[in-house]
Amino acid sequence: MGGNEIGCPPEPFSETFVKAKEHGLYSLPHAGELVGPGSIWGALEMLKADRIGHGVRFIEDPELLQMLKIKQIPLEMCLSSNQYLHVYDRLEDHPFPQLYNLDLMVTENTDDPTLFNTSLVREYELLATLYDFNKADIARIARNAFVAALPHIDVKSRLLADFDIWYSDTI
């Protein structure tokens, strides 16, 4: 579930999401970008979210922050999208570094690369230049994306192993 969250809370979709999960699908809603932490609570409690698209506004709720840290629910951060949509007018004010330093399962993504005139490389460059993230930081964030990915466990294990080999060869 994606798109504009305003006027479109997750709760009315709970029955559909529950049925989809019963049939082996994952729950991957956008929540907490344009609307505050309440939409994230709804996505977690009613849609049983396996991963949250954006979720950046959870920083406004300490209880939600603690729960996401404990459960390590992946958060798909999108710096350029958040700036373009005026969630944060200045990327220097974005909470990404704080979330990263709290050891949350954060990933960096492009959202809609054509609309937001970005690429994954540019997003990683923003992390490095704005927040002084080093190669190890960027690698950890990239690795989180593999951990948060939802392919068959054999595929996921192979991808993680390949990433770890690639990274160990580059340092």
**Catalytic residue numbers?**
33
Give the Å distances, CA to CA, from 38 to 17, 93, 101. Answer: 18, 21, 23
Neighbours of 38 (CB within 10 A): 17
Report how far residue 110's alpha carbon sits from residue 4's, in angstroms, rounded to the nearest whole number: 16
Report how far residue 151's alpha carbon sits from residue 47's, in angstroms, rounded to the nearest whole number: 20
